[in-house]
Amino acid sequence: MNTLLERANKLLMLFDPKPTDLSMLQRFGSRNDGGYLLLDDLGQNDFLISMGVADDVNFEKEVIEKIAGVDLYDNSISELPSEIKNSRFFAERIGGSGGTSLRKSIERVEPTFNLLLKMDIEGSEWETLDAATSLDLSRFRQMVVEFHNFKDIENDEFFNRARRVLEKIDMTHFVMNSHPNNHGGVVLVENLLLPNVVEITFLARTHYSIDESEKAECFDQLANMNRPCSPICPEIYLQPPVDARNLNLEVDTFGVHTINLLNPNLNEMTELSRQLNEAKKINREITTQYNEILDSNLWKFTAPIRYVKKLLNRLRFLTLRNLLVRRLKSMARRVLRIRKVKYLLNRYLPPTLIRLIKRKLSGEKIVFKKNRSKPTNTIWDPEKVSLQKSISDLLE
């Protein structure tokens, strides 16, 4: 008897979204992985608890524009990748022995706030939510949780905990949206396709209601708003549960298909993505160090010294330029003393222009005035006029 088929179908039933009014449906965060769906009825009475941050805080940055504040938890980083207003960061481990529990994170927030939850802690969500009570969960008006490791449904302990957690949440909340992570692989049990990783948005039953009349529209809206977590992999769509009476429990087939097998190029793309993230991290560190230097008292104290140094460099440049000009004038004066050059100048240039050249080379300031007298009838020599114009341009 195929008990795995029953287990997979039971989980699909707990994933199955319930129809409700989605007129305020909104996507917050990144376009791909790190973006989640919420109902945008948020206000200053709401407060977000975000568990699992890493290097992506786009979701928190967009939500904080509409709510009062946010607490962020992640022990894999020492500080947030970028600043978020009205936020507190705790570099603490979530769940487990000695870790921060969901109740402790709730107690850190003023009890007058309505709470929102975002949880993406790479498998630790099962232990954390299993330890939470229904009263703890009831504090959250909306919850977004990414559940991992459904490939382990063969393990009795895992399946019992997963069912227990999802059924406990179902007592206080209902599923608004279920979106498989297309980067996490799939589990194939007979003819049922079960995602290994699923992002689920829950709505509190005390604040929202299920409306069967919205069922047709809900499917289209959710399909349009959900985005693939990995843009290089094909999207995975959640399969609806099957009536238990139609399950073929006599057939016993089971297989785990990872995304590496489905896409041979993924390993190379993943490595490139890792290198890119590493480069971004180094760039952030350099930028932070640079800003710290600019803000330091030592940098401000040495500002006059840098100004004097810049001024000296400018004076040195002007000195070198003047020296070069003097050298060129000296060379020009020597050239004018050559008999062949004198002959050519006297042949092609009028005496007045030759005198102007000599005065210019001697350092005398010459002011050119426009000649308003009428032109005289002279023989026009194109070659001579062109040479005169070139020398006049040089003197200017």
Rounded distance, CA 217 to CA 225, Å? Answer: 12
Contact between 12 and 213 (Cβ < 8 Å): no
* pLDDT > 80? residue 263: no
DSSP 167-189: HHHHHHEEEEEEEE-TTS-EEEE
Q: Give the chain's end-to-end CA distance (angstroms, integer).
A: 102
For residue range 116-142, list pLDDT tens digits in order. Answer: 999 998 888 999 999 999 999 999 999
Rounded distance, CA 304 to CA 7, Å? Answer: 74
Judged on CB neighbours under 10 Å (0-12, 13-18, 19+), 314 is: exposed
pLDDT score recorded for residue 371: 54
- The pLDDT-based confidence of 383 (bands split at 50, 70, 90) is low
Please state the rounded mean pLDDT for residues 224-253.
73
Top pLDDT among 110 and 215 is at 110
> Cα dist. 29→38, 40, 204 in Å?
11, 13, 22
> How far is C-alpha 39 from the chain's CA centre?
23
- The pLDDT-based confidence of 366 (bands split at 50, 70, 90) is low
Rounded distance, CA 163 to CA 158, Å? Answer: 9
Rounded distance, CA 100 to CA 48, Å? Answer: 16
Q: Which fold has domain 14-185+192-238?
A: Rossmann fold (3.40.50)
pLDDT score recorded for residue 279: 85
The token pair that represents 70 in the structure block: 């946010």
The H or E element containing residue 28 is strand 25-29
The H or E element containing residue 255 is strand 254-257
- The pLDDT-based confidence of 252 (bands split at 50, 70, 90) is low
pLDDT score recorded for residue 367: 61
> How far is C-alpha 231 from the chain's CA centre?
15
| Rg of the chain (C-alpha set) | 39
Pick from 223-227, 263-267, 307-311, 388-392 the range whose average pLDDT is largest: 223-227
Q: pTM, whole model, 2 decimals?
A: 0.63
Residue whose tokens read 């102007």? 356
- The pLDDT-based confidence of 262 (bands split at 50, 70, 90) is very low
> How far is C-alpha 332 from the chain's CA centre?
62
DSSP bridge partners of 34:
none
Please give the DSSP secondary-structure letter assigned to residue 302: T
Share of the chain above pLDDT 70, in %: 83
* pLDDT > 60? residue 253: no
pLDDT score recorded for residue 261: 47
Top pLDDT among 191 and 378 is at 191
Lowest mean pLDDT across 93-97, 100-104, 200-204, 382-386: 382-386
pLDDT score recorded for residue 339: 74
Rounded distance, CA 335 to CA 266, Å? Answer: 74
The H or E element containing residue 146 is strand 140-147
Judged on CB neighbours under 10 Å (0-12, 13-18, 19+), 149 is: middle
Please state the rounded mean pLDDT for residues 304-321.
79
